[in-house]
Amino acid sequence: MPAQLINGKSLSATLRQQIAAEIATQVGKGVRRPGLAVILVGQDPASQIYVRNKSLACEEVGIQSFYYGLPESCSQEELGALIEQLNADPAVDGILLQLPLPKPLDASRVLESIDPCKDVDGFHPYNLGRLAERRPLLRPCTPRGIMTLLDSIQTEYRKKHAVIVGASNIVGRPMALELLLAGCTISVCHRFTQNLAYFVKQAELLICAVGKPGLIQGDWIQEGATVIDVGISRLPDGSLRGDVDFESARMKAAWLTPVPGGVGPMTIAMLLRNTVEIWQSSATFISTPQFTGTEGSARRC
Ligand code: NAP
């Protein structure tokens, strides 16, 4: 039987409606809107589209987005000064730095200068460290979105061998930490992994985040596996393709995310969710609840 598709688009739409309702309720009581600052350095066309989509998603749910476009020639110090200003701005709950940065800017240095409490992408070493030591606060959006997708199909984490292909700071590594926290046994594959097919065949839960279209072939996939395809590559004909060969994988997997319409919309939903959770925990939020976003993780290992 062909795999069932995990519909990230529809789950994301439901989550966005919930977020919009939460914001509207509080704004109706006189609370200020949540605010997200989005910084784009340079003119990379793909980054411009991502930033526009994120800003539109914010506006749709009632988050105020503040856009800062800096020229490619901007210096590390100018970028640092903007971050300092946003760190101090009470109307800004979250700060998003669109990556990659043009050379020679040092993204790690900039990310580290963001107030960890406003680190809406969860990339600050403090937040990654919290995730590593099983006390997550702000969690990176793509892995968090994948966990939400997996929760939606009642994944039994503690019994699963999860294989993550790709070990980047923004997807593969935090994904491994999330799944370890959830109780999976994990293997992480990367560029130097010998015999990738062997590892993929061991996966009951497979997460692919490489950016090489069709890298994972269907006959590598274990019968009945859950397969999450994070990769998005644009082919010369303009279509989008994941890392997994969709048609052949569909004949082996039990669950599979499509590209597009799988992980991508969940990343944006988690960006909105993280922004709202920071807002709810901020000093300017009247009748402040405790930080709630990570309690779902505490039930894990
Ligand atoms: P990245 O920074 O380029 O990382 C790719 C990772 O894959 C690296 O760890 C790399 O190893 C590893 N790799 C390269 N070739 C490999 C191979 N043959 N076998 C196994 N591993 C290999 O990319 P990223 O930012 O993580 O993104 C990965 C993909 O996900 C891209 O297509 C991106 O567009 C997509 N993405 C989607 C979303 C979404 O919301 N849907 C979000 C983020 C990213 P080395 O480190 O050794 O080079």
pLDDT digits (tens, 9 = 90+) for 159-172: 899 999 999 999 99
Which residues approach ligand 1 with their CB closer than 6 A? 142, 165-168, 170-172, 189-191, 193, 196, 209-211, 230-233, 263-264, 267
Pocket perturbation via mutation, ligand 1, pick of 210, 233, 263 by most ligand atoms within 8 A of CB = 210
| Closest-lying ligand 1 atom to the alpha carbon of residue 263 | 41
pLDDT value at 286 more than 90: no
> How do strand 205-208 and strand 226-229 relate by DSSP bridges?
parallel
Distance between Cα 165 and ligand 1 center (Å)? 8
CA 98-103-107 angle, 5° bins: 45
Q: Are 76 and 118 in contact (CB under 8 A)?
A: no
pLDDT value at 241 more than 70: yes
- Ligand 1 atom 42 nearest Cα: 142
Looking at the chain, the whole-number percentage of residues with pLDDT higher than 70 is: 94
pLDDT value at 118 more than 90: yes
pLDDT value at 290 more than 90: no
pLDDT value at 300 more than 60: no
CA distances from 78 to 41, 70, 130 (A): 11, 9, 29
Mean pLDDT of 24-51: 96
Distance between Cα 189 and ligand 1 center (Å)? 11
pLDDT value at 38 more than 60: yes
pLDDT at 207: 98
pLDDT value at 299 more than 90: no
pLDDT value at 301 more than 90: no
Looking at the chain, the whole-number percentage of residues with pLDDT higher than 90 is: 92
- Ligand 1 atom 2 nearest Cα: 168
Mean pLDDT of 52-70: 97
- Catalytic residues, by residue number, are 54, 98, 121
pLDDT value at 33 more than 80: yes
pLDDT band at 292 (very low <50, low <70, confident <90, very high): very low
Pocket perturbation via mutation, ligand 1, pick of 53, 168, 170 by most ligand atoms within 8 A of CB = 168
Three-state SS string over the chain comes to CCCEECCHHHHHHHHHHHHHHHHHHHHHCCCCCCEEEEEEECCCHHHHHHHHHHHHHHHHHCCEEEEEEECCCCCHHHHHHHHHHHHHCCCCCEEEECCCCCCCCCHHHHHHHCCHHHCCCCCCHHHHHHHHCCCCCCCCHHHHHHHHHHHHCCCCHHHCEEEEECCCCCCHHHHHHHHHHHCCEEEEECCCCCCHHHHHHCCCEEEECCCCCCCECHHHCCCCCEEEECCCEECCCCCEECCECHHHHHCCCCEECCCCCCHHHHHHHHHHHHHHHHHHHCCCCCCCCCCCCCHHHHCCC
Mean pLDDT of 163-183: 98
pLDDT value at 148 more than 80: yes
| Closest-lying ligand 1 atom to the alpha carbon of residue 243 | 32
66 Cβ contact list (under 8 Å, min separation 6):
35, 36, 37, 38, 91, 92
Separation of alpha carbons 149 and 281, rounded Å: 25
9 Cβ contact list (under 8 Å, min separation 6):
261, 262, 265
- Ligand 1 atom 41 nearest Cα: 264
pLDDT band at 298 (very low <50, low <70, confident <90, very high): very low
Pocket perturbation via mutation, ligand 1, pick of 191, 196, 259, 263 by most ligand atoms within 8 A of CB = 191
How confident is the prediction for the chain on average, in pLDDT? Answer: 94
